[in-house]
Chains A and B, each alone.
Chain A
């Protein structure tokens, strides 16, 4: 019988199916971080249970860490306690921790792939919704809550119901100045912030095939922003070349064996999906969001919808959102002044993102009215940026290169955007208060963010390249 990529991986991981209920589903890799794990470890202690398979668990500190002076003790008391608690828990339960100061430390969804821990065919979970990022390697990867973190620590399994399956095909060639971030923001703007709820999404088509691994991660990362359970892309030579030689990738004979298996991981030609979408790459412009969910976005030449373009029932929420953003219905977004530029987060903080931004800003200077933060996704990205001289390009442009962490993506540390200020951000969420109470976030690609940094206002990057 023909199967989809999702079904092939799913079937391999079902330990048992309960009649009329969910399946006991085996998890290959479990990433944990300081914010969503303490209560789970506490639960284990109360039940007097060990971690069932500590070798399958990897920990890092990312959400709460400062991005300057990481060698000093964390100033903020509660953040420090949480990071220390993670350290204690990992030591007590035998879990590998890439904590502050470790050369592998970084945002959980950046380090898994770059260390070769994330491999095709795996099931991967983390107490973090952007776990969908790892689907770029042909894995079933999804975010879970803390009770589920506890379940996986205790048994390496979860109770899971099989989701419906959707395939999104993006065919054709991308226009100049259009990147992976624009593809995914475009898709979400078309199907809305809840358009894929209940589905596992496979991205396919020539435009996806032509993307680098970093770009594929950007796309899968934001699957959750349209409600999808997970996003995935079938592994191919791009995937295999990326993984080969990385720290935890299979070596020698194990590599050959793994490769032979990975090559079978694709949807069969006649596999059936519950829903299919077709998107023409040519239709996509550089994107920008204007509202307070990632579905509220438009091409840069577009405008904020006028009231009569919005369904009557949805108007109160729409108006609340624009009110928060300080924007008017029907308004053009291009040309709006920005105050902050944030280049970072698990969506766009990989070395490829930093390289792209550096090659664009080389020889240019930021506008006086903006503050620009570049936050690398990991220690390894930071190191590579130094080796390639990217830090110098940023210094000359007036961009501040900080140390790795989630930073202003969620403003849990000191990196907050002040109330009422506009920030063009390469992260994944423009929710109210996400980057700090009252902060106004506009999501865009790294190049759109860099263009705004140079001009001080929302700019069509195509005019500068």
Chain B
């Protein structure tokens, strides 16, 4: 799994649906694995294939539309709601996306994404519409996401929006640090806390 993110410049795949829950991103029946690998082939399984048959792709689903490809997924608001399954972030990353753009992210999904070096980019409802329109009009258009400078840009028009990210998380993503490494380094403080809060 790719560690550290800075600039991602790529074409994008638009899924305009709102309230996409993690049960759609990766249905429960695919959660039986005990490793983190290989979830990409079941990403959006039931929206992608007729009757779950991977020989029968549904033509109107954007992942199956040959004009769309790239490392950036653009999705309708309240993306990633529902189940806390991190498998959703694994599936998106495993499929080949490095960035998800939406006008609203569910909390747990956002954390899971960040913990897997999948960058959630939060934009306004208006800018999201601009992105959808731009990609629909020209699927070959490049979208540029710059984490260091915290902006997202539509290359051909130059339309640009800045996005927020917690400074700690940003440093983690830029440098390839995990929360867990930091927490492990904190063990002496954690033990001291336990002594005073027994």
Contacts and interface: CB of A to CB of B under 8 A. Distances in A.
B190 A20 contact: no
A419 to B, nearest CB: 8
Interface in A108-130: 127-129
Please tell me the size bucket of the interface on B.
35 or more
Contacts of A293: 19, 21, 81
Contacts of A254: none
Contacts of A49: 184
Contacts of A369: none
Given A144-B108, A314-B18, A16 B27 contact: no
Given A15-B189, A16-B189, A129 B84 contact: yes
Contacts of B19: 193-194, 293, 317
A432 B46 contact: yes
A433 B194 CA distance: 44
Contacts of B24: 431-433
Given A317-B18, A412-B29, A145 B81 contact: no
A241 B71 CA distance: 55
Contact of A145 (B21, B51, B84): B84
Interface residues of A, number: 67
Nearest to A44: B180
Contacts of B46: 432-433, 437
A390 to B, nearest CB: 29
Contacts of B180: 43, 47, 147, 150-151, 154-155
Nearest to B33: A78
Nearest to A230: B107
Interface string B19-39: 101011001110111111000
A12 B27 contact: no
A64 interface: yes
A384 interface: no
Interface string A159-194: 101010000000000000000000000000000011
B157 interface: no
Interface in A136-160: 142-148, 150-151, 154-159
B187 interface: yes
- Listed from nearest, the 4 A-B pairs whose CB atoms lie closest are A21-B168, A145-B86, A38-B34, A78-B32
Given A157-B190, A317-B17, A431-B24, 12 more contacts: A18-B168, A39-B35, A81-B34, A128-B83, A148-B111, A154-B180, A155-B180, A159-B179, A159-B182, A225-B82, A412-B32, A429-B82
